[in-house]
Amino acid sequence: MANITTPRVVDAWIEYPFLEQGEDAKVYHLECIVDTSSYSPKSITNSAHNLGSASNAGVEALPYSWANASAYFVGDTEPQPYGFQMLRFVRSFAEVPAAFSDYGSAVKTFFAQYSASLYDPNYVIRNAGSETVSTRIDYQFSRTIGSITIYAEARDPTLLSTGFAVNYVRSGYTTNPNAKNTVLQGTQVTRWRGGIYQGITVYYV
């Protein structure tokens, strides 16, 4: 076999990780082989490393009709030996998913609530306990962490049963835009794939 100095695609498939949630962002996987001495990973932070062309993707050729400059390089699997002085690996590219919501439930634990006066016959307003609540989980995605809006968690757990939709917000944070929902769990930002980040906020609904 002639030397393969540029990764050659030997298999390919497309993944739809959020299809059940109504978001059809694609993740493209290219299984490649290359000479051991010629392997070089791409950069997940360089937006020019995308699926717009074979050159941008760092492969000999793309599968037919796969060119997509909106799918960014998100990583290679660990290269594995393949025959004599060759490597096999999977190179992946992903579109940035659009924001979407999903629904579920959570158990919320709350503290006891007391009157301001010890002499109040109804001093104990509410005993400590827990309850199962319906939740809406909002997902945001971006290649820039600063573009993900951070929503703060409501600090008073009694709000869940008293019906108030008030958000206690830390300095520099944004209030919940939907007055009907209380932030149950403040936004958590994590790396989704490669250089694409996700922000997840859970609301009591």
Tens of pLDDT, residue by residue over 40-88, are 989 999 999 999 999 999 999 999 999 999 999 999 999 999 988 999 9
Is the predicted pLDDT of residue 176 greater than 60, yes or no? no
In this predicted structure, what is the pLDDT of residue 83?
A: 84
Q: Please give the average per-residue pLDDT across 121-132, as a whole number.
A: 67
Contacts of 168 by beta carbon, 8 Å cutoff, 6+ apart: 152, 153, 154, 155, 156
Give the model's confidence band at 28: pLDDT under 50 very low, under 70 low, under 90 confident, else very high.
very high
- How many CB atoms sit inside 10 A of residue 52's CB? 17
Give the model's confidence band at 193: pLDDT under 50 very low, under 70 low, under 90 confident, else very high.
very high
Q: Distance between CA atoms of 66 and 51, rounded to whole angstroms?
A: 8
* Ramachandran angles phi, psi of 37, nearest 5°: -75, -10
In this predicted structure, what is the pLDDT of residue 150?
A: 86
Q: Please give the average per-residue pLDDT across 115-122, as a whole number.
A: 59
The domain limits of the chain are 8-95, 100-204
Strands 124-126 vs 129-142: parallel, antiparallel or unpaired: unpaired
Q: Please give the average per-residue pLDDT across 146-166, as a whole number.
A: 60
